[in-house]
A = this chain, B = another copy of it.
Amino acid sequence: MKKYVGNQTVKFASPPSITAAAAIVGPKEGEGPLRNCFDFISPDVHFGMDSWEKAESEMVRQTVHLAVKKSGIPIEEIRYMFAGDLLNQIAGSTFGMRSFGRPFFGLFGACSAIGEGMALGAMLLDGGFANHVAVNASSHYCSAEKTFRLPLELGTQRAPTAGWTVTGSGAVVLSAEGNGPYVTAATTGAITDMGITDANNMGAAMAPAAAAVLAAHFKDMQRTPGYYDAIITGDLGKIGTTLLHTLMDEEKFSIHDRHNDCGLLMYDCEAQDVHAGGSGCGCAASVFAAHLLEELRSGAIKRLLFIPTGALHSVATLQQGESMPAIAHAVAVEV
């Protein structure tokens, strides 16, 4: 049975159900507006470990363990696990997942990872290849700064356009059957590169990718933005959000009145001094698992379009003068 529509979208025949989710974050995230939504707020960024990379892996392990525990599904019935993060060779994910002993697909989509994993996981469920899958995405402020920018010890001043990498991990357990909310459609993004080279302005690099996948979704599904109660991007932050609104107006799919961004939901940007807002794979993942899913469950949102966004550069590509390609994936979740 053909389940694809238009150019980039799949519409699920038996929409997979979100059975459980968990979100674990660091102390700064625990001081933000969503402080009452997370499953666990670590009192420090170490998670009991002696390195930031190990801390991220431990956070991943705890988050996936908790999501599976909340689902009530025995771990050996989780058919596949998907995970992605920002570290070189996605070490946060692989080391975090290595103790589970379940078939594993490692992903790299930068901060779009939770969207990539939810889309693939839902396809595997709807396709009859699994009964249950778990998907995780994570980031850690300290390990990300070390990987991409400058040693934290320098205390370098941050650019006003820069985002703040979320220390957080979000996991969802999807099942072939259940009581919802349901993943009803997924639009997979193509790589978009508008020539942005300023690594301190990732919102600008990612906004065109978000706009492209949103436009593709509306065209493929023959919907307007009004179909959704909420359209929530991953981590565009303030600057990327402004750009996205302009780009969507140009596409004749205005989203101002129902759009928000996980990077803006995560922090009180002024009071918490995070400049452009939150970023990192863990931003969209933990905001979805802790907050958006609860909004769906409570009925505050009935139809959500969730669009995690990622910038696909590395330190080497930036040093070689390359621009920053970006990608975004749109996942429709409905009650």
Residues of A bordering B, CB below 8 Å: 1-4, 7-8, 10, 13, 51, 53-54, 76, 79-80, 84, 86-91, 94-95, 97-98, 100-110, 116, 120, 123-124, 126-130, 147, 188-191, 193, 312-317, 320, 322, 325, 327
How far apart are the CA atoms of A228 and B242 in the complex, in Å? 57
How far apart are the CA atoms of A147 and B8 in the complex, in Å? 34
6 contacts between A and B (CB under 8 A): A2-B128, A86-B89, A91-B316, A101-B190, A104-B189, A104-B327
Q: Which 3 A-B pairs have the closest CB atoms?
A: A127-B127, A103-B188, A89-B314
How far apart are the CA atoms of A312 and B105 in the complex, in Å? 12
Query: Residues of B contacting A104 with CB < 8 Å?
Result: 188-191, 327
CB distance from A328 to the nearest CB of B (A): 11
A126 nearest CB neighbor, chain B only: B127
Q: By the criterion CB–CB under 8 Å, are A320 and B53 in contact?
A: yes
Q: By the criterion CB–CB under 8 Å, are A105 and B109 in contact?
A: yes
Q: By the criterion CB–CB under 8 Å, are B127 and A128 in contact?
A: yes
Query: Residues of B contacting A107 with CB < 8 Å?
Result: 105-108
- Which of A89, A320, A327: most chain B Cβ within 10 A? A89
- Which of A2, A100, A103, A317: most chain B Cβ within 10 A? A103
Task: Please pick, from B13, B98, B102, the residue contacting A193 in the complex, using a CB distance under 8 A.
Answer: B98
Q: By the criterion CB–CB under 8 Å, are A123 and B116 in contact?
A: no
